[in-house]
Structures are given as C-alpha cells and as structure tokens.
Amino acid sequence: MLRYVIKRVLYMIPTLFGISLIAFLIIQLPPGDYVTSMVASMQDSGRAIDPAEIARLRTLYGFDDPFYVQYWKWMSGILFRGDFGHSFEWNRPVADLIWERMGSTLGLSLAALLFVWAVALPIGIYSAVRRHSVGDYFFTFLGFIGLAIPNFILALTLMYVSYRYLGQSVGGLFSPQYVDAPWSWDKFVDLLAHVWIPIVVIGTAGTAGLIRILRANLSDELNKPYVITAKAKGLPEHKVVLKYPVRIALNPFVSAIGWVLPELISGVTITAIVLNLPTAGPLLLRALVSQDMYLAGSFILLMGVLTLIGMLVSDILLALLDPRIRYR
C-alpha cells in the first residue's frame, strides 16, 4: 500500500504542474486584465483616469510582461516562499484571503457531507430492501423533488420559513449582534440556529442522488447468488444485508470524496451568495469577474490540488472497503 501511495504522489507532481499552467492560462483568456476592468468601472461611474496612470499600473502589476514571465513569478513565489501573489482588488496577500474563507467553507461543507451520508445511507438501504413498498415510493418521490428543486429556490424558501415562523434573522451564519462578537456559548447556539439552512440546502441534491445510486447498487447485490445462499442457510436478514451487500454498495459514497473536496470551494457558490455565507465560492466568483488573476488562479489551482488529494483518498478507501479492488 505504501508503494502505491508513493507512486500516486509522484504522479501528482507533473499533474499539478499541468493544472497550474492551465489555471494561469484560463485566467489570461478573457480580453483585458484587472486594469482594464478597473478603468471600465471608473468610466461607468463617470470618472476619468490619466493614461499615464494606466501605463504605470500596468507596469506595476506586470501586465505588460510576457505570459511565461508572469507565470514564473507566480509559481516561483508559491514554490519557494509560499506566496500566492497579491490581490489587486483587495490589496492584500492572496493567501490571507484564501485562508480566511477556508475555515467556514470547510466546516460548512463537511457538515453538509455528514448530513448527506446520515440521511442517504439508511433511506437507500430501506428503499433497496423494501422495494416497491409504500415507503420506497414515498422516499423516491422526495428524492425526485430534491433533485428537481434548484438550491437557490430552496434557500429562499427556508429563509422565509426561518424569518416568518422561527423569528430568526436571515442570511449569514450569525445574527448581527454576534458577527463580530468573541466566541461564547450564546454565539455557538446562534450559529446552530442559522447553520441548518445552508446544510440542508447544500445537502439536498447530493442526498437525493446518493439515495438513488445506493438503492440501485444494493438492489443488484441483493439478487446475487451469495446473498440468496446466505438467506437459504437461515442467517438473519440484517446480517445478510449489512455484512457484504451494503459494504459493496457503499462504493459510490467513498468515491464521492474525489469530487467533494473541490466542491468545498466552488460547488455552492450560488447558494452562498443567496444566503450571504462567508465561504470561498463568492470570493472566487468576484475574482473572476474583476480579473483579479492571482486570486482567481490560486483558487483554481487549489481546486485542482483538492481534486487530486480527494481521488487519492477515495482510491485508498475503496481498496480497503472492497476486497475485489487491488492496488496497482
């Protein structure tokens, strides 16, 4: 296993180089740059800017340098100094902006992931074992609704319910009086009163999808000869179902880790904007709109790194979970 992990890590090095190159190329593709966006914004507001000042800013930010020079400045800073560059719009180090948002992003997304697993696993098993029952049809109906309703519509609905019937402030993770307050028990309780909305909204579509996947996979396993033989020997149904069929049918849950990690940053952007959440997605969107290239490129690079790490963790867990999978 150790040899397999080392080999995968070595393969990740050229992959990361390719991801960084593609990320920097993507943020260079739109016409213009941050100075162009800034000038356009000033002109829209009726303000004029001196052409000499524009030239000075382009020289200062290095926009007139060739592509490979800009790329090397960015990557050498990351590799040798851990410096992801400077955000033009925020006038702050990119690393500070990223890590400020990663705490809330990570906590919220992991809570949503636990919600997905806690709800999808028992419902998926029940629907597979009790196929075509009233409960199966009921959960199937709820699953289709969960897949069909856009997250932002569900977010707006839950915000209205929270404000209208529970008397809570809407948007954000805290009430206004606790936003800048030091941590205390009251602030923690206030967080719990607000955080359930984004957890439910973020987890709804994933829960519905995994219920359908687990139901289909487990239904196939339950019809295989080894399960029928185990039942014929008189083993209790819960042992027959949980020991092997569920273990094999859990593969989609484990393989989901590969895409869950990058989703921590970009997957819930619209929901985060609607709910006014202090997560990384809205910051990435703003960086792309303003062509803040070092901030946007660092986010894209981070998503690539998280994808590779997620796939590695997923492959290792799959091999441990399913004896049919072998290390290569």
Task: State the CB neighbour count (10 A cutoff) for residue 109.
Answer: 23
Q: Considering Cα of 149, then 155, then 157, then 158, what sign does the dihedral take?
A: positive
Contacts of 121 (CB under 8 A, 6+ apart): 214, 253
Q: Mean pLDDT across the stretch 82-89?
A: 81
Q: Alpha-carbon distance 182 to 168, whole Å? A: 20
Tokens at 327, concatenated:
């290390």
- Residues forming a β-bridge with 86: 93
pLDDT at 266: 58
Q: Alpha-carbon distance 185 to 141, whole Å? A: 39
pLDDT at 160: 83
Q: Are 275 and 160 in contact (CB under 8 A)?
A: no
Q: Alpha-carbon distance 77 to 182, whole Å? A: 35
Q: Considering Cα of 181, then 272, then 19, then 60, what sign does the dihedral take?
A: negative
Tokens at 198, concatenated:
């984004």
Q: Mean pLDDT across the stretch 50-62?
A: 72
pLDDT at 310: 78
55-63 long-range contacts, CB within 8 A, separation 24+? 58/33, 61/33, 61/34, 61/35, 61/88, 63/33, 63/34, 63/35
Mean per-residue pLDDT of the chain: 79
Tokens at 36, concatenated:
């162009």
pTM given for the model: 0.75
pLDDT at 325: 66
DSSP symbol at 93: E
What digits encode the pLDDT tens for the residues 214-272? 888 888 888 888 877 877 877 777 777 877 788 777 777 677 666 666 665 555 677 78
Q: Are 61 and 315 in contact (CB under 8 A)?
A: no
For 208, 211, 212, 213, 250, the CA distances from 144, given in Å and listed in that order, are 7, 10, 9, 13, 21
pLDDT at 42: 67
Q: Does the pLDDT at position 18 exceed 70?
A: yes
What digits encode the pLDDT tens for the residues 156-209? 888 888 878 777 777 777 777 777 788 888 888 888 888 888 888 887 877 877
Contacts of 184 (CB under 8 A, 6+ apart): none
Q: Alpha-carbon distance 14 to 62, whole Å? A: 27
Q: Where are the domains of the chain?
A: 2-94, 101-321
Q: Alpha-carbon distance 88 to 37, whole Å? A: 11
Q: Return the CATH number of 101-321, one of 1.10.1760.20, 1.10.3720.10, 3.40.50.1970, 3.40.50.150.
A: 1.10.3720.10
Q: Does the pLDDT at position 51 exceed 80?
A: no
Helix/strand/coil for 13: helix
Helix/strand/coil for 254: helix
Q: 28-32, 47-51, 215-219: which range is least confident on average?
A: 47-51
pLDDT at 321: 72
Q: How far apart are the first and last CA of the chain?
A: 9
pLDDT at 296: 84
DSSP 100-112: HHHHHHHHHHHHH
pLDDT at 263: 62
Phi first, then psi, for residue 98 (nearest 5°) are -65, -50
What digits encode the pLDDT tens for the residues 99-128? 888 777 778 877 887 888 888 888 888 888
Instruction: Please count the CA atoms within 13 angstroms of the CA of 8 that sit on its side-chain side.
Output: 16
